């Protein structure tokens, strides 16, 4: 049974923090594929600065040639807020034989109880949380009890069941945010080495983050 990692985000723009984390999660969880799903309208935050097609194009360029990395534009094609639970339901209908693993950074995981219909996510997918060395769910007392019954430490157990379990994976921390990249690009500052070179060139050529 194939395992598909689902990496959602605003990707405004995609940066090397996203990419390195996706790669390490793919290796640690033995995922056959990682799908990058840019959100059209992220529900719990401000609207993206750059339009959907451009954000998707940057993802496409960033992952080109990376074995097992794929762009999935279904959230961009769906009207209304981009609820992950709808995305996973749709994916499960389309891929009934695959195992879906929702990939989250710690910041996204900590906000999970605010997501639309979040408990239903576990009907469709496992969740893998990429965290910094030394971080533990035990430090987050309000979340620890919500997830305690779902956490598995052993990646083999995680693979046996269809959905509903949570696993924590230690990954290299690259403290980069898209917010910082946008601010630098808007100010005309140098964004070399924060994003893949093809993304930096796209941002420069289109001027998409420049202040008009
Ligand atoms: P913004 O600064 O605009 O909020 P962001 O950099 O946090 O953006 P998103 O597109 O909102 O990026 O994040 C998508 C996913 O990537 C989330 O699961 C988030 O936790 C994760 N993520 C964001 N930044 C990093 C990073 N530096 N390293 C690993 N994962 C990250």
Q: Tens digit of pLDDT for each residue in 167-183?
A: 999 999 999 999 999 99
Q: Does position 67 have pLDDT exceeding 90, yes or no?
A: yes
Q: In this structure, which residue's CA is closest to atom 15 in ligand 1?
A: 9
- Is the beta carbon of 102 within 6 A of some atom in ligand 1? no
Q: How many angstroms separate the alpha carbon of residue 42 from the centre of ligand 1?
A: 12
Better-predicted residue by pLDDT, 202 or 133 = 202
Cα 6 to ligand 1 centroid, rounded to whole Å: 14
pLDDT of residue 204: 97
Tell me, what's the pLDDT at 159? 67
Average pLDDT over residues 81-101: 96
Structure tokens that stand for 153 in this block: 């430490």
CA atoms within 13 A on the CB side of 46: 5
Beta bridge partners of 35: 6, 70
CA of 102 to the centre of ligand 1 (A): 14
Q: If pLDDT is split at 50, 70 and 90, which confidence band does 143 have?
A: confident
Ligand 1 pocket check for 34: Cβ under 6 Å? no
* Domain architecture of the chain: domains with CATH: 3-173 (3.40.50.620)
Output the CA 12–ligand 1 centroid distance in Å. 9
* CB-based contacts of 19-25 (< 8 A; 24+ apart in sequence): 19/62, 19/63, 19/196, 20/171, 20/172, 20/174, 21/103, 21/105, 21/130, 21/171, 21/172, 21/174, 22/69, 22/103, 23/66, 24/130, 24/169, 24/171, 24/172, 25/103, 25/128, 25/130, 25/169, 25/171
Tokens 């990249």 sit on residue: 181
**What is the dihedral angle through the alpha carbons of 145, 37, 10, 159, rounded to the nearest 10 degrees?**
20
Using DSSP bridges, classify how beta strands 99-105 and 3-9 pair: parallel, antiparallel or unpaired. parallel
Tell me if 42 CB under 6 Å of ligand 1.
no
Query: Comparing C-alpha atoms, which of 68, 29, 23 is closest to residue 169?
Result: 29
Range 132-157 average pLDDT: 81
Q: Which atom of ligand 1 is nearest to the CA of 15?
A: 6
Nearest CA to ligand 1 atom 20: 105
- Confidence class for position 162, pLDDT limits 50, 70, 90: confident
């Amino acid at each position: 049974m194939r395992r598909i990692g689902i990496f959602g985000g605003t990707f405004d723009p995609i940066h090397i923090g996203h990419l390195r984390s996706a790669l390490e999660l793919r290796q640690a969880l033995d995922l056959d594929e990682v799908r990058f799903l840019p959100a059209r309208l992220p529900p719990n935050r401000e609207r993206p600065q750059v339009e959907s097609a451009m954000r998707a194009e940057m993802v496409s360029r960033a992952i080109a040639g990376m074995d097992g990395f794929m762009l999935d534009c279904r959230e961009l094609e769906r009207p209304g807020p981009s609820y992950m639970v709808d995305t996973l339901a749709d994916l499960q209908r389309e891929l009934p034989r695959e195992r879906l693993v929702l990939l989250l950074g710690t910041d996204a995981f900590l906000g999970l109880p605010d997501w639309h219909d979040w408990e239903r996510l576990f009907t469709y997918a496992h969740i893998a949380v990429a965290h910094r060395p030394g971080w533990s769910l035990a430090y987050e007392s309000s979340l620890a009890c919500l997830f305690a019954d779902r956490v598995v430490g052993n990646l083999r157990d995680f693979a046996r069941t269809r959905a509903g379990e949570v696993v924590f994976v230690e990954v290299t921390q690259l403290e980069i945010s898209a917010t910082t990249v946008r601010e630098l690009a808007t100010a005309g500052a140098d964004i070399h080495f924060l994003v893949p070179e093809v993304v930096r060139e796209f941002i420069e050529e289109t001027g998409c983050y420049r202040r008009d």
